[in-house]
Amino acid sequence: QVKPQLEEKEGKTFDVFTATEFRTQMVAGVNYFIKVHVGNEEFLHLRVFQSLPQENKPLSLHSYQSSKKKHDELAYF
């Protein structure tokens, strides 16, 4: 659901977009920290926010980190 948001921010499209790992953080909703394989040896770390159910809002890409590798630790950011 957040792939188009990321592609707009990056100004490019990703042929490969596969989540390989994730962590969660409970806030006034949920932050998802997701490691995504985007092709070759390149990975991105995404921070995606899911609001509380009663707010009825879509998932939003809060921030991301590029130039990551497969073995880079997925940490809170």
DSSP 11: T
Q: What is the pLDDT of residue 53?
A: 87
Tell me the β-bridge partners of 45.
35, 65
Q: How far apart are CA 74 and CA 10, in angstroms?
A: 20
CA distances from 18 to 12, 35, 36, 43, 54 (A): 16, 8, 5, 9, 29
Q: How far apart are CA 42 and CA 39, in angstroms?
A: 6
Q: What is the pLDDT of residue 76?
A: 87
All domains of the chain, ordered by start, with CATH? 2-69 (3.10.450.10)
Q: What is the pLDDT of residue 2?
A: 93
pTM of the model: 0.88
Secondary structure of residue 55 in the 3-state scheme: helix
Mean pLDDT for back-to-back runs of 10 residues, the chain (77 residues): 93 94 93 95 95 91 94 91
